[in-house]
A and B are shown apart, each in its own frame.
Chain A
């Protein structure tokens, strides 16, 4: 089993739709979690951190479920400009603190 797994997609949704991605992780000692966005042939950019209590930033909501070992990203009212690959990052604990990226989930928002 991979340390961090994401459905690669692509998720094809119309403008205005709500879409959610999950990211599962295998190490229960994982300590920190992030979502990054990567446009085609560009560098990853931080979208948001994921806090234990869940957090929201405008149309984006991130949640952490430690019991089931996954994080989620919900995007409401999708825009064409949301089309990108969404990468989850898990910081493994146990003393190593190595950041592990998922392979990313591709989102395509169409008119």
Chain B
């Protein structure tokens, strides 16, 4: 039973560049949420996708965008990267749209901005 998988595991970019992170949900899950976790902090909710639409969004600028595909996998895109975007980006999947559902996290993508 495959869990949540994310790629790449590590990424180094420079300011102003754009990045795309990928996530495949746990088998049987149809909802994907993305989080940003800075060092020493808890994960911060970016947005949630269900049925290929953004359903909920946290307090992140429009530079952060996403997509969900028919197979439930998802991408997170970040444009015009800033030094402050350096963080661990976590994808979590669940069954159904309710954020009351416990979420299963992937290992994350560690993004470093130089």
Contact = CB atoms under 8 A, between A and B. Distances in A.
Interface of A: 4, 6, 8, 31-32, 34, 42-46, 49, 87, 91, 96-104
Interface string B12-55: 00000000000000000000010100001111110000000000
A96 B47 CA distance: 11
B105 interface: yes
26 contacts: A4-B42, A6-B42, A8-B40, A31-B100, A32-B100, A34-B102, A43-B90, A44-B43, A44-B90, A44-B105, A46-B103, A49-B102, A97-B98, A97-B99, A98-B45, A99-B33, A99-B103, A101-B35, A101-B42, A101-B43, A101-B45, A102-B42, A103-B40, A103-B41, A103-B42, A104-B42
Nearest to B41: A103
| Chain B CB within 10 Å, residue with most, of A32, A34, A43, A96 | A43
B66 interface: no
Contact of B100 (A42, A43, A87, A97): A97
Given A4-B42, A43-B108, A99-B99, 5 more contacts: A8-B40, A32-B100, A91-B100, A97-B100, A99-B103
